[in-house]
Structure 1
Amino acid sequence: MARNFFIELEKILYQKDILQKIYDFNNFYENFKANLYTFDHSHQAIINENSQVKIIHPMKIRRPKEANSTLSLAKILHSVAHIEYSAINLALDASYRFKNLPLNFYQDWLEVADEEIKHFLLLEKTLNELGFKYGDFHAHDNLEKALFLTKDNLAHRMGIVHRGLEAKGLDANPFVLEKLKTTNHPVKCLFDEIFTIILNDEIKHVYKGNFWWNFAKKENDNYIDLCKAYKEFSLLGKIYNKKARIQAGFNESELKELNNLYNKNGG
């Protein structure tokens, strides 16, 4: 008997054991690619708290300015690992929550989840080499908040989360890498490869967000207006990665508007 795509994905999305979650997803993804699931779009999605770390307010998180100790290095890596783990859930949630869409929508976001898992595992392995693991430090829940606030609107989810917050990761990538490379720890040799993989994949992810934002938005919807409506989120870095954003689907005039919106003081 064929299994329902959404019911099976719900189990994975809310699985608390990380290794089990990844194992289950890998099996699910192979079955999906083999066309073994049915799509019952009458399925009603649920929304649950889904964090694996202790959450505190972003302003209470002390971010090391340099990786000048093993602890500082681990904290920086952990913050990136948290973003990647959250991104797994965001991609799974998009596939799970939004119904009656073309098959390639589900293909896209499962592919994103698969790549986010690979990013997370690369970072988790490096954390382990430092003597730490994911969950050892506090984190914020900005991505989870964005997931909740956009749970009923596909255009908003694609625009704010996958075209917005994920694109901000493109801005941060080179600066995080530069900070990590201030360490003298032997794991330093891994960072260029890991962060190049992440950057190249994230460009593709934001491009998918751009595609599905354009698919889902209404004719008169304006991206800058959407950003203003979600003013609790900043969706552009103070110094933004123009090259990566252009590759991901932004245009120059739009980037100028975003810069005027978020960096009015020239930050």
Structure 2
Amino acid sequence: MDSIPALLADPAAWAALATLIVMEVVLGIDNLIFISILSNKLPEAERQKARRLGIGLALVMRLVLLSGIAWLVGLTAPVFDLGITGAPGAHGEPTFETQFSWRDLILIAGGLFLVWKATKEIHHNVDPHPNADVFDTAKSTLSFGAAIAQILVLDLVFSIDSILTAVGMTEHLPIMVVAVITAVVVMLLASNPLANFINKNPTVVMLALGFLLMIGAVLIADGFGVHVPKGYIYTAMAFSAGVEILNIVARRRKARGAAAETPAGH
């Protein structure tokens, strides 16, 4: 066990903690977007409960994984090899891995689930039932138990990715625990504002589903050994979100202008 007083007196430990907190918060965005979209499909009285329970499960799962770091790291050991030679890359190495670990299989399964879920929701929003509101229809098709089960599946995938990132950044368990707890608290504080924002701006739903589709594809690629730098992913997400915010502001100003020009009584 690391000496906590020694870590408190070590500036490098504080720097590692700050860096890891930022990284964990960023990695938690994926988890939070999924929880927000799924909870908005529930009756309004159950949404906040689902968000809190989903984020609470994410915290428990991360702490359990931290308590078994040796087992978790063992998930990266190859369990089987397809024996297929991939096409050579620029330096002669295969462009994808043929050896798969449990981590790879979990990422691939989670990515496939995320792609399936996002594709299903996009299809439902693009082609809703006749004479029914697209978002009201979507909300009525999911039970509380089904929502929690789906959140639990993705919590596991995102937690493994999160903790493996933490293990790669520091060897001190107390720093990992504090960073994970801080990131989950930030997720908890941001869950309601984010979910409400998505719910009040229907076009953001499609953007968020596009994010989930992209994240699912990245998880699958990562499982096959094709590592896409996460900085590129989050930069693209931030840019898209910024453009959508500008569109929302423009629509609201146009609506206010139209309302101001409408004569009284019309």
TM-score by length of 2: 0.36
Q: Which has the higher helix share?
A: 2
Please tell me whether Structure 1 or Structure 2 has the larger radius of gyration of its CA atoms.
Answer: 2
Q: Higher relative CO (CA 8 A, sep ≥ 6), structure 1 or 2?
A: 2
